[in-house]
Amino acid sequence: MSGAVRLHGEYLSLPQAAKLLGCSRQALATAVRRGILRAVRISPQKGRSFYLVSAEEIERYRREHLGRRGRPRKRKPLDQTPAGTTEGAHDP
């Protein structure tokens, strides 16, 4: 689903957010547990707890994380030696 979420000030459950983003509820629950997606945990007196996610947070998650699988790649450090030169070599 393309386009920005336009629900400022509203909260959605994980199944609602998953439907909006086109991913599974379990994927969002995993993102919450890993701290990638911020959500408010609601624990009623009786029954199971559930999470609510703000529309702004859903939009941030969509921009920054949606469509990317796995862990971010580690960047290889840039070689500080200029190309064509050897460290420690001296010109006669």
More confident residue, 6 or 9: 9
| 80 band by pLDDT with thresholds 50, 70 and 90 | low
Percent of the chain topping pLDDT 70 = 66
CA trace torsion 56, 17, 44, 39 (10° rounding) = -40
Mean pLDDT of 67-75: 68
Q: What is the pLDDT of residue 57?
A: 94
DSSP sequence for 16-78: HHHHHHTS-HHHHHHHHHHTSS--EEE--SSS--EEEEEHHHHHHHHHHTTT--SSPPPPPPP
Of all residues in the chain, the percent with pLDDT exceeding 90 is: 43
- If one counts every other C-beta atom within 10 angstroms of the C-beta of residue 52, the result is 16
Mean pLDDT value across the chain: 79
- Delineate the domains of the chain, giving CATH numbers in brackets: 11-64 (1.10.1660)
Rounded Cα distance, 86 and 77, in Å: 18
